[in-house]
Chain A
Amino acid sequence: MAAAVSIRGVTKRFGTDVTAVSNVTLDIVDGEFFSLLGPSGCGKTTMLRMIAGLEFPTEGSIQIFGEELALRPPNKRPVNTVFQSYALFPHMNVEKNVSFGLEMRKVDKAEIGERVAEAIEAVHLKGMEKRKPSQLSGGQQQRVALARALVNRPKVLLLDEPLGALDLKLRQAMQMELKDIQSEVGITFIYVTHDQEEALTMSNRIGVMNFGNLLQVGTPEEIYERPVNRFVADFIGETNFIKGTVTDDGAIRLTNGSVVHVRTDAPSGADVTITLRPEKLRIHALDADDINPARNQLPSTVTRRLYYGESIYYEVAISDGTLLDVRHENIPSLRRWDVGDEVIISFHRDAGEALLS
């Protein structure tokens, strides 16, 4: 596992009272699609800019393939960036935009022509070489930005919310394309996004950030199934929170007195919050006798029903008034419930995670 990018104790302060990135340590593996995920202002873009050299860290070290370059100017780094707003040069045509980096590095003219043509073809913009950026659609501009960065064959490609400005359909198509391009060129991608779905579907690994801190690093599945704290659980996907206390035998006693079993690392007596994804809950009739014994059961009342097409959302209240969202697939084998129905909700022991609160 060669580290493409090795970040050690990196902190970035703006002035005296703004800490954008706080003591981040992270290794990004060669060839991996790594996403930095978090809400706006969480420090993910600043982290990316420090790798690009557009900001310098206040403290810490950044190495790319073993080479220390925390304080090196951006033009002397083996990385290229796809900017959020594309930042295409408006006074140059597509070809000139793409060849810019190679020309700056004084690559041989014939080679520039070859590589530029190749890159433009790779992003399906053949025939548009002489157009100015203003004559291109958003998706096409996005492709130019990608070609302009990739043509330099960087060791690491940095992408700052590159799909943020595109509409949903185009964004989904570009997600696939980006993924394909990445596996084709085999370059390490570091992808900044606030879109958790995008991060989950595209990444090999995700780093979740908030308030400048790196909270959790893991595969999409690890992040979704085993969040380390409330913020991560809440930010990635939808979830329910139920408060409780760890009992002596490792179960959780809820505030309404019921006892449930879920995964936990918390010591006995600790106050915890259980996170439970809506799709992992099931609603049963009060007299149901076919519930798997490995599932916890809580009596509750249906308080709301929302029809989503592919699924149906129920809001149910357990006896202490805590409201939970339940997602049922829209399939005939799952009975429809009405508001006011007295029911039992169930969830598997491995479905939830009790986090220290």
Chain B
Amino acid sequence: MTLLDDRTSEEANPELEKKAERAESWRGFFVALPTYVFLVLFFVLPLIIIAVISFAERSRTGKPILGEWTLEWWIKLGDPLVRSVTFRSIWLAFLNTAFSLLLGYPFAYWIATRKKAMTRNFLLVLVLIPFWSNFLVRTYAWRTLLDSNGMITKIGEATGLWGKMLFTEPAVFLGLLYGYLPFMVLPLYAAIEHLDWNLVEAARDLYAGAWKAFRKVTLPLSMPGIIAGSILVFIPSLGAYVTPDLLGGSKTTLLGNYIVTQFKSGRNWPFGAALSVTILVIMMIATVIYFKKGGKTL
């Protein structure tokens, strides 16, 4: 009797569970529906349009002629100029990510290890304060600082260490570092703050010095923060437009500016579209590599 009961319940259960699961997933779908619609309308659809345009001939005004297809713009990506712009962009984005990590980690560590919650929150607000003013305005401020009469230039000249940096690659780098450092600090802070400090004590108890304990325990356990921060810095750096536009010169064109040029004075929408798809692919590849590499240590 009991056996029979058990069997029927075993047979009935998976079906019931499936039904419940399906109902649950439908409920989830409806909750997410507005976001789905929004993303499809304003994100997926435009992306498809851009991809399609990149295969179209261009008219004299630069707009695409749909119906006349060509691979010309994709072949043009191999031009030395395009390649140098792409490599410069990747290099600067990489450099920016590396330095953000180097500067951001100790700072985030320091904030996260303050004993009082009040102190931590206050320091976090300081990190966020720059966001209270417009990014464009802040970038213009850098322009002033880095110009011939700017404070940074004067300090450099007085010490003989550097000259006027405005419209050079270092200026763009400084601007990017300044702009995206908070995006590194915040996820790092979150990761370090959640760390179980007992583990560090355990490492110390097991004969690890302070540095060893950091390398073997703290660092690997804050990897989620490092990955999140790096992605948050690398991706916008790679597509940066305002910073290189205002602080860089003609020799420091980055992908973002180059794309804008195609749509405006270059009068070549299809080529701009091909470049846009390229940048997207680079970002996707970089993200996947990063997750795979970082994922191992998690």
Interface on A for B, CB 8 Å cutoff?
A: 52-54, 73-76, 79-81, 83, 85, 87-91, 100-101, 104-105, 148-149, 152
Contact = CB atoms under 8 A, between A and B. Distances in A.
A75 B212 CA distance: 11
B208 A75 contact: yes
A76 B209 CA distance: 9
Interface string B212-242: 1000110011000000000000000000000
B198 interface: yes
Contacts of B206: 75, 80, 100-101, 104, 148-149, 152
Contact of B202 (A73, A81, A91): A81
A293 to B, nearest CB: 59
Contacts of B151: none
8 contacts: A53-B204, A73-B210, A75-B205, A75-B209, A89-B203, A91-B221, A101-B206, A104-B207
Contact of A73 (B198, B204, B220): B204
Contact of A89 (B199, B207, B209, B212): B199
Interface string B85-125: 00000000000000000000000000000000000000000
A80 B205 contact: yes
Interface in B186-212: 196, 198-199, 201-210, 212
Nearest to A107: B207
B297 interface: yes
Contacts of A152: 206-207
Contacts of B216: 89, 100
B297 A91 contact: yes
Given A89-B199, A104-B203, 5 more contacts: A75-B207, A85-B196, A90-B221, A100-B206, A152-B206
Question: In the complex, which of the residues B203, B204, B221 has the most CB atoms of chain A within 10 Å of its own CB atom?
Answer: B204
Nearest to B297: A91
Interface of B: 196, 198-199, 201-210, 212, 216-217, 220-221, 297-298
B202 A87 contact: yes
Contact of A54 (B204, B208, B209, B221): B204
Given A90-B221, A91-B298, A83 B198 contact: yes
B50 to A, nearest CB: 41
A75 B216 CA distance: 14
Given A54-B204, A74-B204, A75-B204, A87 B209 contact: no
B212 A74 contact: no
Contacts of A87: 196, 198-199, 201-202
Nearest to B199: A87
Contacts of A148: 206
A87 B196 CA distance: 8
A35 to B, nearest CB: 20
Contacts of A101: 206-207
Given A75-B204, A80-B206, A101-B206, A89 B217 contact: yes
A83 B202 contact: yes
Contacts of A75: 204-209
A104 B212 contact: yes
A207 to B, nearest CB: 22
Contacts of B196: 85, 87
Contacts of B209: 73, 75
A75 B210 CA distance: 9
Contacts of B210: 73
A336 B96 CA distance: 84
A87 B203 CA distance: 9
A89 B217 CA distance: 7
A79 B202 CA distance: 12
Nearest to B217: A89
A74 B221 contact: no
Given A87-B199, A91-B298, A104-B212, A81 B217 contact: no
Nearest to A91: B220
Given A81-B202, A87-B202, A89-B199, A104 B208 contact: yes
B209 to A, nearest CB: 6
Contacts of B207: 75-76, 101, 104-105, 152
A355 to B, nearest CB: 39
A91 B220 CA distance: 8
A87 B201 CA distance: 9
A74 B199 contact: no
A342 to B, nearest CB: 55
Contacts of A52: 205
* Residue from B199, B206, B207 having most chain A Cβ neighbours under 10 A: B206
